[in-house]
Structure 1
Amino acid sequence: MEITGIIAEYNPFHNGHLYQINQIRQHRDSLIVAVISGSFTQRGEAAILDKWQRAQCAVESGCDLVLELPFAFACRSAQDFAQGGAALLARLGIVSQLAFGAESDNLAQLQAIASQLDDKDFQKQLHQQIANGLSYAQAISAVLGNDENTATLIRQPNNILAIEYLRSLNRLPTSIKPLLIPRQGAGYHEPDIHGPLASATAIRQALYQETVADLASVLPAATYQATRQLSASQLPDMNRLYLPLQTKLLTSSFSSLQNIYGINEGLENRILDMAQKASDWQKLIKAVTTKRYPASRIARTLLYLLLDIDKGSMALFDQAGPLYARLLAASSQGKKLLKDIKQQSSIPLITKTSQYLNTNKRRGAKADLTPFEQMLSLDTIATELRNLTCQTAADRNDFQQSPVFSNR
């Protein structure tokens, strides 16, 4: 039987994700292993539901196993998010294909662009454009922008991720094959709901506007039930992290700020300056954002500041890749895969965090922790940091919460 991997955020799991799963199973009989971001998303925002809730929704809606993508890769740029997810799936030793969505239906074109991005001459031009002041995405557009069709293609967010997945498969020692499933329904950032395939952006907006009844037609039953049970006080609000951030900035030296991952070229000065004027987290992001530094990068960098993630630590994580597979949820069929993973995986499968890390060890000096423990420590702290964004936080943490097992 085919084992299909998916890399996603499921923030939250909606009908578009269900469509993808159904398409996979129409293509071939397959079990599905999803690797999802944990407490924070790629854009540097707290996930709308906690990772166990989102994993359970995914399993109840058709996934067989849901694993956590470590924070060190989940809250990163598209290329790092894709590389981390693909590497984790490859290290399981059982995944035969990677399914992903894109606005384009032309796999050959996406593969050609992916190969071109890793060409030495292209990389030289790319780094020159970045040195000239462009962001990574802008630099890619500048180098490839002579062809209007290509330029349009790479401006679309799912195409960008698809290309990064293909680049990751090219670089990894893996036989995993790509499976492109053209995206259907609303655009990635479409703010309104116009039918059963709404964007995650529109769904989250409806939750904050407390128009949950509007979501019955765009969410699978499990997700709809989970969101119906949410009160306003349980929704994450990143502004609740602003006072801790201001305190961190007030007590940090220039050298320590300059050592934080994502801070370079005097960005610390701009953050410090704007933090004296901005009244909340979101306004600070808007004030610091520039053409070179998009809002998503600034949002991630503020989290790195709070979590004290330095450049050396991130370089270590990138060199090592994902060092474990953390189980969040499984179906009855997915449980049968656990034995295969334990036999074939090159990384340990974690079902109980306390077997690998405890709160006392987590509070020790970073130098006393192995890269494995440092990576896992970040995941556990991120869970508790997300809890701080909710006025009424769920009583769940990584040391006590077990994986969710479904009878589906």
Structure 2
Amino acid sequence: MQVTGIIAEYNPFHNGHLYQINKIRTQSDARIIAVMSGSFTQRGEATLLDKWERARLAVLCGCDLVLELPFVFACRSAQDFARGGVALLSRLGIVDTLAFGAEHDDITALTELAAELDKPAVQARLHQTVGQGRSYAQAITDILGTDNDTTCILHQPNNILALEYLRSLQLLSSPLKPLLIARQGAGYHEPKLAGTLASATAIRRHLYNSGAVEELQPSLPPAVYERLRNITATELPQMNRLLLPLKTKLLTSQIADLQACYGVNEGLENRICDCARQAADWTSLIKAVTTKRYPSSRIARTLMYLLLGLSSAEMAAFSGQGPLYARLLAASPRGKEMLHSIKIHSSIPLLTKTSQYLTSQKRCQNPADLPPLAAMLRYDTLATDLRALTCPAGTARNDFQQSPLFLA
């Protein structure tokens, strides 16, 4: 049985994702496992739809199994996001291939750049350059962009993520073989709808700007379009709804507790507190705190860590452990057949019921008193509840009551 893994956000699933799955299918009859972000994205934003709904749509569009990437890896930098996803797929014990997209279609060139990036001298320069205030992507370009072609490669976000996948495969000595599928259509951050292959950014922006939903139809698989054409404004997450809880958290916390939060260093807690007092909305707060040294995506993630009380010490432990479970969200009939093989070969448990390891009562305990798996799972459940706060209409699903979705 050939099994291909994908690491994704599907926020939302669009024709570019469908293109990737169809390309995999043309090369083999592989079964496809998607490891997907849960309630928040890598950039620290609430997902458009909840994780079960996104998993359901992914299965309807060709995935066989959808597993959740734990929050402590999903809402992280590109290198941590990639490492968490690769580690989870590798630990399943049945995955042969990692498929990923990139703007550059030369796997040899990307592999060579990934190897160059991991050289000790390059890593030393990278840490120094980031320490001087350059973003991670800018620092990589400064160091490796020795010619126009390489600089062009490093200016594309999916190429950077592809490098991180390749680095993770090497670092973890993963048995997965890389499968590069050249990205088609609009650029990752393209803000405007463009034909049948629009970016997720453009699709989300169109929904939030109350554009005619019918204009999204060419860019979406039928199942996704049917779901989104009936979405209401009160279903869409509004990050502004987290501003007051954050201000309350900052107001009532001891400075030492803020300093202990992951992502907070060099007095960043003072800048966040000062800017929060004046901020009228979530976006303006992020913009006010953002500096050349601290890009907006890092600030957005740090605000999530503050709200959830996620400490640097906890994150260091999670990073050292890697994903400790495979949380099932949805499966096709072919995917359901794979579950037995995963249970036999996986080095981590297949989790279908949260209460196996964590109850709502245990979640209220001191995190330090929880076993490592329960402590990691705790943040997935908190993130789900935090996302629910962003939705004016609320949400019906939660981690303690919702079972995996098995589609016919």
How far apart, in 2, do the equivalents of 1:229 and 1:53 lie? 14
What per-residue deviation string (whole Å, max 9, x for no partner) do you get for residues 195-236 of structure 1?
110000111111112321111111111111211231100100
Map 1:85-96 to 2 at 5 A: 85-96=85-96
1:376 matched to 2:377: yes
Contact 2:98–2:179 (CA under 8 A) maintained in structure 1: yes
Map 1:109-148 to 2 at 5 A: 109-148=109-148
Q: Which amino acid aligns with 2:302?
A: T
Q: State the partner residue of 2:360.
A: 359
Q: Which deviates more, 147-156 or 287-296? A: 147-156
Q: State the partner residue of 2:198.
A: 198
Q: State the partner residue of 1:67.
A: 67
Match of 1:5, SS state, is: strand
Map 1:289-328 to 2 at 5 A: 289-328=290-329
Match of 2:278, SS state, is: coil
Contact 2:145–2:154 (CA under 8 A) maintained in structure 1: no
How far apart, in 1, do the equivalents of 2:12 and 2:293 lie? 29
How far apart, in 1, do the equivalents of 2:150 and 2:338 lie? 40
Q: Which amino acid aligns with 2:303?
A: L
Q: State the partner residue of 1:329.
A: 330
- In the TM superposition, residue 56 of structure 1 has moved relative to its aligned partner by 0.3
Contact 2:132–2:293 (CA under 8 A) maintained in structure 1: no
Contact 1:72–1:317 (CA under 8 A) maintained in structure 2: yes
Contact 1:357–1:373 (CA under 8 A) maintained in structure 2: yes
Q: State the partner residue of 2:31.
A: 31
Match of 1:35, SS state, is: strand
Q: State the partner residue of 1:6.
A: 6
Q: Which amino acid aligns with 1:148?
A: N
Q: State the partner residue of 1:173.
A: 173
- In the TM superposition, residue 136 of structure 1 has moved relative to its aligned partner by 1.9
Match of 1:39, SS state, is: coil
Contact 1:101–1:158 (CA under 8 A) maintained in structure 2: yes
TM-score (norm 1): 0.98
Q: Provide the aligned length of Structure 1 versus Structure 2.
A: 407
How far apart, in 2, do the equivalents of 1:393 and 1:207 lie? 18
How far apart, in 2, do the equivalents of 1:237 and 1:102 lie? 30
How far apart, in 1, do the equivalents of 2:27 and 2:33 lie? 16
Match of 2:247, SS state, is: helix
How far apart, in 2, do the equivalents of 1:378 and 1:48 lie? 19
How far apart, in 1, do the equivalents of 2:90 and 2:351 lie? 16
Contact 1:323–1:372 (CA under 8 A) maintained in structure 2: yes
Contact 2:324–2:349 (CA under 8 A) maintained in structure 1: yes
Once superposed, what is the RMSD of the aligned Cα atoms?
0.9
- In the TM superposition, residue 194 of structure 1 has moved relative to its aligned partner by 2.0
Q: State the partner residue of 2:163.
A: 163
Unmatched runs of 5 consecutive residues or more in structure 1: none
Contact 1:36–1:69 (CA under 8 A) maintained in structure 2: yes
- In the TM superposition, residue 144 of structure 1 has moved relative to its aligned partner by 1.2
Q: State the partner residue of 1:255.
A: 256
- In the TM superposition, residue 82 of structure 1 has moved relative to its aligned partner by 0.2
- In the TM superposition, residue 131 of structure 1 has moved relative to its aligned partner by 2.4
1:81 matched to 2:85: no
- In the TM superposition, residue 261 of structure 1 has moved relative to its aligned partner by 0.4
Contact 1:53–1:226 (CA under 8 A) maintained in structure 2: no
- In the TM superposition, residue 279 of structure 1 has moved relative to its aligned partner by 0.7
- Among the aligned pairs, what percent are the same residue? 63
- In the TM superposition, residue 318 of structure 1 has moved relative to its aligned partner by 0.2
Map 1:265-284 to 2 at 5 A: 265-284=266-285
1:236 matched to 2:237: yes
Contact 2:133–2:294 (CA under 8 A) maintained in structure 1: no
- In the TM superposition, residue 43 of structure 1 has moved relative to its aligned partner by 0.4
Match of 2:137, SS state, is: helix
Match of 2:265, SS state, is: coil
Match of 1:217, SS state, is: helix
Q: State the partner residue of 1:288.
A: 289
Q: State the partner residue of 2:97.
A: 97
Match of 1:164, SS state, is: helix
How far apart, in 2, do the equivalents of 1:364 and 1:276 lie? 31
Match of 1:400, SS state, is: coil
Map 1:340-355 to 2 at 5 A: 340-355=341-356
Match of 1:99, SS state, is: strand
1:226 matched to 2:230: no
How far apart, in 1, do the equivalents of 2:198 and 2:166 lie? 26
Q: State the partner residue of 1:151.
A: 151
- In the TM superposition, residue 60 of structure 1 has moved relative to its aligned partner by 0.3
